[in-house]
């Protein structure tokens, strides 16, 4: 083992802390809570130190040769150190928030155990220096985070967890196939060396197939269409702190992989850039559209995450299309990743406060909860204005850069009608974001609930806890700290946000900006203004007129008009995985099963028959008498059939992916 040991400590410390915390929790729950806070705080300070060290011009590497055959390679550059700091900050905030949120939950010890295992694995993903290390921690992260999804152990949680782990396992298997192909083609998996190795590789077809398989695996975790189905299912049922991490950080581990493919394996490849762009546009628009129809607070935020991942994918696609002129796309992609992480940390914690008090998430049942709660109102409003891209909040900066990258391609690369349409979809998706976030805000903080009073009684349920407090002082501090980030970053974009972009853009091979962007010029403000106006029209015409109606008691209620049958999981994925693929796999396995039976029968009639007559057969000294041989051959046949069934399922998945792509 050589290099900077701080990197491996950052990976192992949370995992060791998970074990120690679990043992402490068996004796003293409150001591476990404080120890968990200590683990998260220490991890954040280590990440902050690494970030400061990298910003000072130093480089950090750690290599464990021979680990797992390929070795373990960790590295901290600007992007990796920045996102490790973002991840550990989110874990610190959610750990502090969890003390209040889980005060009346069971299985808290199990939750904290897997929470910190997931932290170590997630940091391992962002610090990985080669794709073998990425894959190792990526799979650990998928398995440990599954337990956080099913924490409630209710039927809905278990079904959502089943969807989550199924997509994670299938995505991981396909990703591994892509890594095998890539390694076979270029002979290496070091991320820093992939760009030159892939450029020099003559077998471009293998590179494209490997990249496609890897996009499947990483895109599944990121929430990219059409592999996004786990997000709207997992977030509403997972505890709010877990939802914040699933949305804000775990999806970015998938984006990390997509960036490696787009910025190293297929560097400045316009065909690949167009592919990612199309996936991004569909993901961006569809996620926002579904969020507009949703009437569940956390499900709306989950669908919003799908949409915001689409915005990030648009930026990645534009990098490939713009080539050497990709500075705006690179910086917009990086900054929107950070912004989305902060927005969803804040918004899911606010949703957690609502759920802690009411144990409900339906907008019709939580209406009016936020009335006369100025601090909670302020925190949610900061998240709303940020994610909606309103000027003076951080989301405006990243969305402006992404929008201007599309405009730049239209003007300088002659994008044509297609890119004009993409620009309109981008602006409309921004408008949809404004509309569904306004819908949430009006429902929770402006409207009165059915039979509510100014004190906030919703459907006869008290909206406050004992002594009039609806959240603890610790939760209040956590929310306010997180809520201040979007406006602070947005007010000084040329100082803070450009500084982050300068630090992290090298990972994407972005070209340094020679001058500051005039963020508040009319040219840049225009896109935000158009999206806000579109959002206002959609809210007034669609939400208030079409998505609300009078209920039996005469009160106005929100309705979900999204067709129930239009659910990709129930419409396609479950029938395919549960019925079609097993049937095809069994058919393939049956053919090989009959082949093995035929070979076994031939052997029994020839070689084994000779052995029964007492003939000495030097070629088969391991053969025994016929009865024992029959038993062994049947076991081999059965085992081989099962193996071929698994092979058939995997093979069909790969063929299906290749046909689609």
Pick the more confident residue, 411 or 584.
411
The pLDDT, as a whole number, for residue 566 is 65
The pLDDT, as a whole number, for residue 579 is 67
| Structure-token pair, residue 198 | 């892939």
pLDDT of 621 above 90 = no
Range ranked top by mean pLDDT from 96-105, 234-243, 299-308, 611-620 = 299-308
The pLDDT, as a whole number, for residue 595 is 82
Q: What are the pLDDT digits (tens) for 30-75?
A: 888 899 899 999 999 999 999 999 988 888 888 888 776 778 889 9
- Cα 505 to Cα 97: distance, rounded to the nearest angstrom: 32
Contact yes or no for 487/66 (Cβ under 8 A): no
The pLDDT confidence band at residue 572, using thresholds 50, 70 and 90, is low
The pLDDT, as a whole number, for residue 538 is 93
Average pLDDT of the chain is 82
| Structure-token pair, residue 572 | 């396609």
The pLDDT, as a whole number, for residue 462 is 38
The pLDDT, as a whole number, for residue 576 is 64
- Cα 661 to Cα 650: distance, rounded to the nearest angstrom: 17
Peptide bond into 226 cis (omega under 30): yes
- Cα 407 to Cα 424: distance, rounded to the nearest angstrom: 11
pLDDT of 153 above 50 = yes
Q: What are the pLDDT digits (tens) for 351-394?
A: 999 988 888 888 888 888 888 889 999 999 999 999 999 999 99
Q: Which of 228-232, 303-307, 337-341 shows the lowest per-residue confidence on average (mean pLDDT)?
A: 228-232
pLDDT of 471 above 80 = yes
The pLDDT confidence band at residue 515, using thresholds 50, 70 and 90, is low
Pick the more confident residue, 438 or 460.
438
The pLDDT, as a whole number, for residue 497 is 86
| Structure-token pair, residue 601 | 């029968």
Contact yes or no for 142/165 (Cβ under 8 A): yes
In 3-state terms, what secondary structure has residue 190?
Answer: strand
The pLDDT, as a whole number, for residue 647 is 46
- Cα 34 to Cα 37: distance, rounded to the nearest angstrom: 5
The stretch 103-116 carries a mean pLDDT of 84
The stretch 171-190 carries a mean pLDDT of 87
Q: What is the value of pTM for the model shown? A: 0.83
The pLDDT, as a whole number, for residue 203 is 83
Is residue 523 exposed (0-12), middle (13-18) or buried (19+ Cβ within 10 Å)? Answer: exposed
Q: Which residues contact 278 (CB under 8 A, 6 or more apart)?
A: 317
Give 107-148 as a 3 state SS string.
Answer: CHHHHHHHHHHHHHHHHHHHHECEHHHHHHHHHHHHHHHHHH
The stretch 146-155 carries a mean pLDDT of 82
Is residue 402 exposed (0-12), middle (13-18) or buried (19+ Cβ within 10 Å)? Answer: buried
The pLDDT, as a whole number, for residue 91 is 94
Give 533-583 as a 3 state SS string.
Answer: HHHHHHHHHHHHHHCEEECCCCCEEECCCCCCCCCHHHHHHHHHHHHHHHH
The pLDDT confidence band at residue 90, using thresholds 50, 70 and 90, is very high
Range ranked top by mean pLDDT from 191-195, 432-436, 561-565 = 432-436
Contact yes or no for 500/82 (Cβ under 8 A): yes
pLDDT of 457 above 50 = no
| Structure-token pair, residue 565 | 């049958």
pLDDT of 228 above 80 = no
The pLDDT, as a whole number, for residue 5 is 87
The pLDDT confidence band at residue 617, using thresholds 50, 70 and 90, is very low
- Cα 112 to Cα 116: distance, rounded to the nearest angstrom: 6
Q: Which of 15-24, 208-217, 461-470 shows the lowest per-residue confidence on average (mean pLDDT)?
A: 461-470
pLDDT of 641 above 90 = no
The pLDDT confidence band at residue 571, using thresholds 50, 70 and 90, is low
Q: Which of 224-228, 304-308, 633-637 shows the lowest per-residue confidence on average (mean pLDDT)?
A: 633-637
Bridge partner list, 60:
76
pLDDT of 615 above 60 = no
- Cα 640 to Cα 601: distance, rounded to the nearest angstrom: 16
- Cα 624 to Cα 596: distance, rounded to the nearest angstrom: 19
Give 38-85 as a 3 state SS string.
Answer: HHHHHHHHHHHHHHHHHHCCCCEEEEECCHHHCCEEEEECHHHHHHHH
Contact yes or no for 36/116 (Cβ under 8 A): yes
The pLDDT, as a whole number, for residue 118 is 92
Contact yes or no for 7/125 (Cβ under 8 A): no
The pLDDT, as a whole number, for residue 635 is 44
The pLDDT confidence band at residue 608, using thresholds 50, 70 and 90, is low
pLDDT of 644 above 60 = no
- Cα 4 to Cα 63: distance, rounded to the nearest angstrom: 9
- Cα 582 to Cα 448: distance, rounded to the nearest angstrom: 51
Contact yes or no for 50/81 (Cβ under 8 A): yes
pLDDT of 456 above 50 = no
Q: Which of 225-239, 564-578, 638-652 shows the lowest per-residue confidence on average (mean pLDDT)?
A: 638-652
| Structure-token pair, residue 26 | 């068996």
Q: Which of 75-84, 507-516, 652-661 shows the lowest per-residue confidence on average (mean pLDDT)?
A: 652-661
pLDDT of 600 above 80 = no
């Amino acid at each position: 083992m050589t290099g900077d040991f701080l990197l491996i400590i950052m990976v192992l410390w949370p995992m060791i802390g998970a074990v120690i915390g679990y043992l402490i929790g068996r004796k003293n729950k409150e001591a476990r809570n404080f120890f968990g806070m200590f683990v998260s705080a220490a991890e954040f300070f280590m990440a902050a130190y690494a970030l400061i060290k990298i910003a000072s011009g130093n480089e950090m590497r750690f290599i464990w040769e021979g680990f797992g055959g390929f070795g373990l390679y960790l590295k901290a550059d600007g992007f990796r150190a920045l996102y490790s700091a973002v991840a550990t900050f989110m874990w610190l905030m959610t750990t502090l928030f969890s003390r209040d949120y889980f005060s009346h939950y069971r299985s808290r010890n199990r939750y904290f155990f897997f929470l910190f295992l997931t932290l170590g694995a997630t940091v391992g993903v962002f610090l990985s220096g080669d794709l073998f290390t990425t894959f190792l921690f990526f799979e650990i992260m998928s398995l440990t985070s599954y337990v956080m999804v099913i924490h409630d152990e209710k039927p809905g949680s278990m079904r959502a967890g089943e969807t989550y782990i199924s997509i994670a396992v299938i995505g991981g298997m396909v990703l591994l196939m892509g890594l095998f192909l890539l390694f076979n083609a270029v002979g290496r998996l070091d991320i820093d060396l992939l760009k030159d190795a892939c450029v020099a590789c003559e077998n471009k077809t293998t590179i494209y197939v490997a990249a496609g398989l890897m996009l499947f695996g990483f895109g599944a975790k990121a929430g990219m269409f059409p592999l996004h189905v786990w997000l709207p299912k997992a977030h509403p049922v997972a505890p709010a702190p877990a939802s914040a991490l699933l949305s804000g950080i775990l999806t970015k581990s998938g984006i990390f992989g997509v960036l490696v493919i787009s910025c190293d394996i297929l560097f400045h490849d316009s065909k690949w850039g167009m592919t990612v762009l199309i996936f991004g546009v569909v993901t961006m628009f569809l996620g926002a559209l579904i969020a507009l129809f949703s009437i569940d607070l956390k499900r709306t935020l989950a669908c919003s995450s799908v949409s915001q991942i689409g915005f990030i994918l648009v930026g990645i696609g534009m990098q490939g299309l713009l080539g050497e002129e990709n500075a705006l796309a690179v910086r917009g992609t990086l900054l929107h990743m950070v912004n989305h992480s902060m927005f969803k940390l804040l918004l899911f914690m606010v949703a957690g406060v609502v759920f802690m008090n009411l144990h409900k998430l339906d907008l019709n049942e939580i209406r009016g909860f936020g009335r006369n709660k100025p601090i909670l109102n302020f925190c949610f409003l900061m998240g709303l204005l940020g994610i909606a891209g309103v000027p003076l909040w951080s989301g405006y900066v990243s969305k402006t850069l992404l929008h201007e990258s599309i405009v730049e391609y239209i003007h300088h690369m002659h994008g044509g009608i297609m890119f004009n349409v993409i620009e309109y979809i981008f602006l409309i998706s921004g408008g949809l974001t404004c509309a569904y976030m306004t819908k949430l805000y009006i429902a929770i903080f402006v409207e009165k609930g059915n039979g509510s009073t100014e004190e906030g009684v919703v459907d006869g349920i008290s909206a406050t806890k004992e002594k009039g407090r609806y959240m603890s002082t610790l939760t209040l501090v956590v929310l306010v700290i997180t809520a201040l980030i979007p406006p602070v970053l947005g007010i000084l974009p040329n100082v803070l946000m450009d500084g982050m972009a300068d630090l992290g853009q090298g990972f994407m091979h972005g070209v340094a900006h020679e001058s500051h962007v005039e963020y508040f010029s009319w040219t840049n403000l225009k896109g935000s203004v158009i999206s806000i106006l579109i959002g206002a029209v959609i809210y007034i015409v669609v939400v208030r007129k079409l998505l609300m109606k009078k209920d039996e008691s005469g009160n106005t209620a929100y309705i979900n008009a999204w067709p129930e049958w239009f659910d990709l999981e129930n419409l396609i994925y479950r029938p395919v995985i549960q019925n079609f693929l097993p049937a095809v796999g069994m058919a393939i396995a049956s053919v090989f099963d009959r082949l093995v039976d035929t070979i076994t029968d031939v052997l029994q009639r020839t070689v084994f028959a000779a052995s029964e007559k007492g003939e000495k057969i030097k070629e088969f000294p391991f053969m025994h008498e016929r009865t024992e041989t029959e038993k062994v051959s049947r076991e081999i046949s059965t085992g081989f059939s099962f193996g071929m069934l698994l092979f058939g399922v995997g093979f069909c998945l790969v063929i299906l992916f290749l046909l689609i792509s």
